[in-house]
Amino acid sequence: MDAIADRPKTYKYGFVTDVETEKFPKGLSEEVVRAISARKNEPDFLLEFRLNAFRWWKEQEPPRWAHVEFPPIDFQDIHYYAAPKSMEDAPQSLDDVDPELLRTFDRLGIPLHEREQLADVAVDAVFDSVSVGTTHQDILAEMGVIFCSFSEAAQKHPELIKKYLGTVVPPRDNFYAALNSAVFSDGSFVFVPKGVQCPIDLSTYFRINASKTGQFERTLIVCEEGASVSYVEGCTAPVRDENQLHAAIVELVALDDASIKYSTVQNWYGGDEQGRGGIYNFVVKRGRCEGARSKISWTQVEAGSAITWKYPSVILKGDDSVGEFYSVALTNNRMQADTGTKMVHIGKNTSSTIISKGISCDQSKNSYRGLVKVTPGASGARNYSQCDSMLVGDGCEANTFPYLEIHNQGAVIEHEATTSRISDEQLFYLQSRGLDSEAAISLLVNGFCKEVFRTLPLEFSVEAVKLLEMKLEDSVG
């Protein structure tokens, strides 16, 4: 811990929790896949799902098209399963959970004991490869909402898992999706039955702790007809000089009139000034608006990770369905981000909105890459995209790579992007009013991101603003 104390204050979640960890040996093989499945006592169909994915993955080459640079990943040098030892005999309730783990989440500001602070948020805490505990399950159960770890869902609700798993992101979707499908260890499962408005926000908190491990979690959220849910994801990892891989999959399914709001505050460790260490965050997130008038909304605040490479997407299959993507991506030091969204319009009168704000500081690279696709049958499709980039410092890069593929006459598609820096006039004005330069920049950046922040649930909006301020302090101050 002392070594870490010397580090800049940038990353306050950089501590390591000293718990005994059980890891599988390094490397990936069919045995490892089978062992993960066996450890979780999974039904046969899941083992088959994993093995199919693994066999395909073996044949594939890692993709290289993103505007990011990193040395090739040695996939045999990663532990594919790590779990705190105390989890071996699955705890029956939070009282059985190792107090050290609970303290970890307390320090992260995620109290697992249901206390005053985040009283109206149910949390599923994932530590390395396993879920440590899920709060508020009783309230949710009353409403018929299922919110539990993926492993638990595989035991208790195999029929739902079988029905929906891999329907949005098929195992052969891409290299990292296949890798995840083969070795995913845990994650969250949410099922909101017909007509139920989930009364509290659901949240998963991901924590990577063990070294030399990869985290491969899987989230599946299903909203039946007329149901709605708001879901928040947060993540941190210790400061380490090595790069760790995080390759997750999130699948959302919204049936008729259902609405899913998925918010992410991503603050994985992003490496130091020299670009040493940090998480490779290669995530596949996709939602399908299956039913008519359904709605899926992604909000992301990406403030961490050495490399962020993800495109939360919406497939607008149901007529009149709505997709939204609000993103703030801040990169500093030598972080690299290639992120954006895909909106695929299939149903009639579908609409989508994309608001993306990129802020690059120091030596970082920040790219927006997005696709708006209107298929021939999607008459009346409407899209509005706005991608703004802000550069802070002259060593950084801000790129915009939008793709518009329009195969329908009735579509109305608009895309706008701007790139600029904080204007000297604005800074001068604020400083003349007595704000110091740091506060002035923070205020301007907040204004720049406001459209996105206001879509976050309140507590997380506050957290996001603080997070950005903290990151900017080190870059600008």
Partner 1 sequence: MKRLRAIPPARHYGEQLDALLAQNSAGETSALQKQRQTAYDRFMAQGIPTRRVEAWKYTDVTRLAEEVFRPVDPAGITPQTLADLPYCHDGDERLVFVEGILQPDLTQRPDTSPLKLSSLSSASESAPQEVPDNPFVALNGALWRDGSMLDIPANQKLDHRVHVLFLHAAHSDPSVIHPRLHVRLGAHAEARVVVTYAALGDGPCLNNAVLDVDLAEGAQLSLVQAQVLNEQSTHLGFTRITQGRDSHVASMDFHAGSALARHDLTVALDGEGASATLNGLYAVRDRQHVDCHTGIEHRQPNCSSRQLYKGILNDRATAAFDGLVRVHPGASGSDGEQVNRNLLLSNDCQANAKPRLEIANDDVRCTHGATVGQLNDQELFYLESRGIDPAAARDMLSRGFAEEVLYRMDDKALHADLHAILDSFFEASNERD
Q: Distance of CA 132 to CAs 57, 115, 127, 193, 233, Å? A: 29, 17, 6, 25, 15
Q: CB of residue 372 vs partner 1: minimum separation in angstroms?
A: 9
Encoding tokens for residue 265? 């505050």
| Distance in Å, CB of 202 to partner 1, minimum | 37
Radius of gyration over every alpha carbon of the chain, rounded to an integer in angstroms: 21
Task: Decide whether 43 or 402 has the Cβ nearer to partner 1.
Answer: 402
Least distance from partner 1 to the Cβ atom of residue 209, Å? 36
Task: Decide whether 15 or 401 has the Cβ nearer to partner 1.
Answer: 401
Q: How far is the CB of 210 from partner 1 (least distance, A)?
A: 36
Q: Tell me whether residue 139 or residue 406 sits nearer to partner 1 (CB atom).
A: 406
Interface with partner 1 (CB under 8 A): 65, 376, 379, 389, 391-421
Cα dihedral 53, 58, 64, 65 in deg (nearest 10): -40
Pick the closer one to partner 1 by CB: 110 or 344: 344
Complex with partner 1: residue 143 or 404, whichever CB lies closer: 404
Least gap, CB of 349 to partner 1 (angstroms):
15
Measure the CA–CA gap between 81 and 205, rounded to whole angstroms.
Answer: 18
Closest to partner 1 by CB, 253 vs 378, is 378
3-state secondary structure 284-344: EEEEEECCCCCEEEEEEEECCCCEEEECCEEEECCCCCEEEEEEEEEECCCCEEEECCEEE
Least gap, CB of 65 to partner 1 (angstroms)? 7
The residue among 92 and 409 lying less far from partner 1, judged by its C-beta, is 409
Nearer to partner 1, 220 or 411 (CB): 411
* Contacts (Cβ under 8 Å, ≥6 apart) of 148: 124, 131, 134, 137, 156, 188, 189
Q: Quick one: tokens of 319?
A: 């007529």
Query: What is the spatial distance between Cα 192 and Cα 187, in angstroms, rounded to a whole number?
Result: 17
* Max intra-chain CA distance, the chain: 68
Least distance from C-beta 406 to partner 1, angstroms? Answer: 4
CB of residue 409 to partner 1, shortest distance in Å:
4
Q: Which one-letter amino acid corresponds to residue 452?
A: V
Q: In this structure, is the dihedral angle defined by the CA atoms of residues 263, 269, 275 and 280, taken in order, positive or negative?
A: negative
Residues in the chain: 477
CB of 471 to partner 1, least distance (A): 17
Helix locations, 25-131, DSSP H = 30-39, 44-59, 99-107
C-beta separation of 212 from 79 below 8 A? yes
Alpha-carbon span 450 to 454, nearest angstrom: 6
Give the CA count within 13 Å in the CB-facing half-sphere of 253.
21
Closer Cβ to partner 1, 65 or 142, answer by number = 65
